[in-house]
Amino acid sequence: MTVKDTPQPLATALKRLETREGWGITYEEPLSAAAADGAIDLTYTVTEETRKDAKLQEQVLTQLIAQQAGQAAPRFRLTSAGGLWHITPVQGSPLDTPITLPRQERPLGEVLRVLCAEVTKHSGTPLELGPTIGLRLETPITLEATTQEPARTVLARVLNSASRRAAWTLRGQGAQKKYVLSAHRVFRLAGDTPPSTPAEGAPKQPPSGH
* Model pLDDT for residues 173-201, shown as the tens digit of each residue: 877 889 999 999 998 875 444 444 444 34
Closest by Cα among 57, 53, 24 to 187: 24
Contact 108, 141 (CB under 8 A): yes
Under 8 Å between Cβ of 32 and 172: yes
Tens-place pLDDT, residues 124-159: 999 999 999 999 999 999 999 999 999 999 999 999
pTM over 0.85: no
For the chain, the structural domain boundaries read 2-185
